[in-house]
């Protein structure tokens, strides 16, 4: 039996590390966390200093038993990741396996390479309780907020919602940005451009340095310059530099992978995790831009040998984030000589941009020569400006790419007159701030000091899975702009249609996000306060440094938080849902509200608190909002569901609007009637749609047995179903001649396969 047991948190990591160790080591995986707070219940003993009540996850009991068996009579080494989460995994392993955390060997490494593993084993330490306490503080605080605040949202808004210290702030950012965009009033102005020519016919593109206010002022200005002369008053040439960006942190990698590769934040982290576990890159959760001395020397050596000494410039970047852990490294390849890797294509692409960014960060700046030419107008105070730029030395652009074509201006000198045939003034509009993408939301959270590298991806995923935000492509809208042209002494005007506002993969808050954000801002302002949330992160850092007790930090938060929870129980649900009273139903006097519901804006007749009679609900009229809908429009919606008539065989036809749009219902059959209106659809129209639906269903149905089992045609061929399970029919079998016994056998066989599959996982 081997003398040592080394435990890591992932099988892939174990497989890579095993290659670097002698036969004296057995490497096993804990498959992530083995202990945590149970999913149900608070499980924080508030009365006894906020003591957490951990349990071994049901799916990890066998893992723990196997590790206990493997640990007998062996020296145990804990090699989980080097951050707080990894330290917590190591500590939980000591608790679950009955190991002494003060004597059990703990090793950390920034990269999975033989030198790094060998060095880590040569310098073991014990579990860092301060790191563990910082993780426990985060876990406890998030559980307290989620457990006490989420039920309030369930009662006051709708079930299934959740609140969180970081996720609620992220949602608030989305909501505030969306409202800023909606409230934005674009202002138009006119941008003036022209192409001058010198005596030799060389072209000089130029733009007026100021924008003109409106069409009237622009026409007046163009009229004035009809007889003007244009003279160069200044030619300035100066050297310029373009410096490379620092190596990647978690946040900047997510942003660049989104911009260049179109990866989501979560996708980037999954791919980076695999690259790390395979030994290709250093640890991918970091907020530091530092590179180790070994990496700096390796980069200088590679760049000098590959491109020449003039391309090498060693740099150590200063991390902007004041709370960043400078002892950590930026994300970089473990071997810079490895310009590409084998494997899955997306991993290759991500590795490529990490390699490029690391090498480029240690290369010389690109050198350019910039030229600016100022051109005066003889009878006006405004000036035109022409710009040119020539790349003199590519530097880091040799690796990173992004070279622009030289904008070369002809040789010009002060006092020289220029000619122009056409001057164009184009109407332009000011734009609101852009909606957040996943990557730019991460950058904003980082700028505010909210969250840490390990929290960005889960936060972005949570706000989407909980229905607070949708990642969508924004369709642009057509806008008419005016274009004025001065040519041959004549001013002409034309209307041009441009598309504005189009964008892709943006995070847009849902109506429920607005309701929840307004509720939290009003009644739990500290939870969604940007400064408060950032200060909490600083508190976690102080705990990690041993300068603050994690229980005291939690107690300080809870004494202010819990009373707000108790107080919020008395808040009327109508207030939370932002119900807008439209008036009263003239037939029964019940109030009519426009408010937010589970799936967005909706109408309500009656009071939610009325125990004797439940309120009625109706969808919002198309194109209307809570603020714009009228009482008359609302009353019209409460005429639904509407009896349209009957089918040919006398079945009642109802028309209504559901979650997925307008429909008719006959018995248990539902038929979409888009784009028809359920309030005006005729019996004839409804009958035809129902007949068409019956024809479709008939074409789909092959057989139906008395037991309820059906043989149907599906998009992938015929299949058998009992309403719960589906089973494909063998190509050699005739579905029309299939017996009930054979159908049951297919379903039974299908279930058996499913069960065996589950057992094998």
Q: Is 339 exposed, middle or buried (0-12, 13-18, 19+ CB in 10 A)?
A: middle
Please provide the distance, in angstroms rounded to a whole number, between the alpha carbons at the two ends of the chain.
28
Determine contact, residues 331/253, Cβ cutoff 8 Å: yes
Q: How far apart are CA 645 and CA 682, in angstroms?
A: 8
- Listed as own residue / partner, the contacts of 516-521 with beta carbons closer than 8 Å and 24 or more positions apart are 516/153, 516/157, 516/161, 516/163, 516/168, 516/171, 516/468, 517/168, 517/171, 517/172, 517/175, 518/578, 519/153, 519/156, 519/157, 519/576, 520/163, 520/168, 520/172, 521/172
Residues in a beta bridge with 654: 643, 665
DSSP string, 118-171: HHHHHS-B---HHHHHHHHHHHHHHHHHHHHHHHHHHHHT-TT----TTHHHHH
- Longest C-alpha distance within the chain, in Å? 99
Alpha helices per DSSP H over 507-661 = 511-523, 530-544, 550-568, 573-576, 631-637
Closest CA to 654 of 690, 606, 622: 690
97-116 residues labelled b (16+ CB within 10 A) or e (exposed): bebebeebbbbbbbbbbeeb
Tell me how crowded residue 238 is: count the other CB atoms within 10 A of its CB.
Answer: 9
Closest CA to 384 of 411, 431, 429, 424: 424
Q: How far apart are CA 550 and CA 41, in angstroms?
A: 21
Closest CA to 87 of 9, 198, 185: 9
Residue 95 exposure: Cα atoms within 13 Å on the Cβ side: 16
User: What does the H/E/C string look like for 290-311?
Assistant: CCCHHHHHHHHHHHHHHHCHHH
Q: How far apart are CA 349 and CA 326, in angstroms?
A: 28
Catalytic residue, from 54, 190, 276, 283: name it: 283
Q: How far apart are CA 140 and CA 309, in angstroms?
A: 53
Residues 6+ apart with CB under 8 A from 760: none
Look at strands 669-672 and 661-666 and give their pairing: antiparallel
> What sign has the CA pseudo-torsion 628, 634, 636, 642?
positive
CA-to-CA dists, residue 201 to 298, 372, 418, angstroms: 52, 19, 10
In the residue annotation, 663 being an active-site residue is answered as: no
Closest CA to 169 of 434, 433, 444, 435: 444
Return the structure tokens found at 86: 């990894």
Question: Active-site residues: which are they?
Answer: 283
């Amino acid at each position: 039996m081997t003398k040592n047991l080394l435990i890591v948190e992932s099988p892939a990591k174990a497989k890579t590390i095993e290659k670097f160790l002698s036969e004296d080591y057995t490497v096993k995986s804990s498959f992530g966390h083995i202990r945590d707070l149970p999913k149900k219940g608070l499980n924080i003993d508030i009365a006894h200093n906020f003591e957490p009540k951990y349990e071994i996850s049901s799916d990890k009991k066998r893992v723990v038993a196997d590790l206990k068996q493997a640990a007998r009579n062996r020296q145990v080494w804990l090699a989980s990741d080097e951050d707080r989460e990894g330290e917590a995994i190591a500590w939980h392993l000591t608790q679950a396996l009955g190991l002494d955390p003060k004597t059990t060997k703990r090793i950390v490494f920034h990269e999975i390479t033989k030198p790094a593993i060998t060095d880590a084993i040569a310098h073991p330490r014990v579990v860092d309780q301060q790191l563990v306490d910082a993780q426990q503080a985060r876990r406890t605080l998030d559980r307290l907020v989620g457990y006490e605040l989420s039920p309030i949202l369930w009662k006051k808004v709708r079930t299934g919602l959740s609140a969180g210290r970081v996720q609620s702030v992220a949602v608030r950012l989305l909501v505030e940005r969306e409202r800023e965009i909606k409230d934005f009033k674009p202002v138009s102005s006119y941008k003036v451009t022209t192409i001058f020519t010198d005596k030799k016919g060389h072209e000089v593109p130029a733009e007026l340095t100021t924008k003109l206010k409106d069409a009237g002022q622009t026409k007046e200005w163009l009229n004035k310059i009809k007889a003007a002369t244009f003279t160069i008053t200044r030619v300035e040439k100066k050297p310029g530099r373009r410096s490379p960006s620092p190596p990647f942190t978690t946040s900047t990698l997510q942003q660049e992978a989104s911009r260049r590769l179109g990866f989501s934040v979560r996708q980037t982290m999954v791919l980076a995790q695999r690259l790390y576990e395979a030994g290709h890159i250093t640890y991918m959760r970091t907020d530091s831009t530092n590179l180790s001395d070994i990496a700096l020397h390796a980069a200088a050596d590679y760049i000098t040998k590959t491109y020449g000494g003039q391309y090498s410039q060693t740099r150590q970047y200063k991390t902007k984030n004041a709370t960043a852990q400078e002892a950590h490294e930026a994300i970089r390849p473990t071997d810079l000589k490895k310009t590409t890797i084998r494997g899955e294509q997306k991993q290759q692409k991500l590795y490529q941009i990490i390699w490029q960014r690391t090498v480029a960060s240690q290369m010389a700046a690109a050198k350019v020569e910039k030229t600016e030419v100022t051109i005066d107008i003889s009878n006006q105070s405004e000036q035109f400006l022409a710009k040119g730029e020539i790349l003199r030395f590519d530097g880091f652009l040799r690796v990173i790419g992004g070279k622009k074509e030289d904008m070369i201006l002809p040789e010009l000198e002060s006092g020289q007159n220029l000619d122009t045939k056409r001057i164009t003034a184009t109407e332009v509009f000011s734009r609101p701030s852009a909606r957040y993408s996943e990557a730019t939301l991460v950058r904003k959270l980082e700028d505010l000091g909210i969250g840490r590298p390990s929290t960005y991806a889960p936060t972005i995923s949570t706000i989407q899975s909980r229905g607070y935000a949708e990642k969508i492509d924004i369709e642009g809208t057509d806008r008419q702009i005016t274009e004025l042209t001065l040519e041959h002494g004549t001013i002409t005007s034309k209307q041009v249609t441009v598309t504005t506002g189009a964008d892709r993969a943006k995070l847009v808050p849902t109506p429920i996000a607005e309701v929840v954000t307004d509720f939290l801002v009003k009644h739990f302002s500290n939870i969604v306060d940007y400064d408060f949330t950032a200060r909490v992160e600083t508190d976690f850092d102080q705990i990690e440094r041993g300068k603050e007790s994690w229980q005291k930090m939690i107690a300080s938060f809870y004494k202010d938080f819990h009373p707000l929870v108790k107080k919020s129980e008395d808040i009327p649900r109508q207030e939370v849902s932002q119900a807008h009273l439209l008036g009263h139903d003239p037939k029964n006097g019940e109030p009519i509200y426009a408010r937010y519901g589970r799936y967005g804006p909706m109408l309500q007749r009656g009071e939610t608190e009325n125990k004797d009679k439940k309120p009625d609900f109706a969808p919002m009229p198309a194109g209307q909002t809570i603020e714009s809908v009228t009482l008359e429009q609302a009353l019209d919606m409460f005429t639904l569901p509407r009896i349209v008539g009957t089918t040919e065989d006398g079945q009642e036809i109802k028309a209504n609007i559901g979650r997925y749009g307008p429909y008719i219902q006959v018995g248990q059959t539902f038929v979409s009637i888009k784009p028809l209106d359920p309030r005006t659809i005729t019996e004839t129209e409804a009958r035809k749609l129902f007949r068409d639906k019956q024809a479709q269903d008939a074409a789909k149905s092959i057989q139906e047995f008395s037991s309820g089992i059906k043989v149907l045609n599906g998009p992938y061929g015929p299949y058998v179903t009992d309403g719960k399970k589906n089973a494909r029919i063998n190509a050699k079998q005739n579905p029309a001649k299939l017996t009930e016994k054979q159908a049951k056998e297919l379903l039974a066989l299908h279930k058996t396969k499913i069960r065996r599959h589950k057992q094998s996982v």
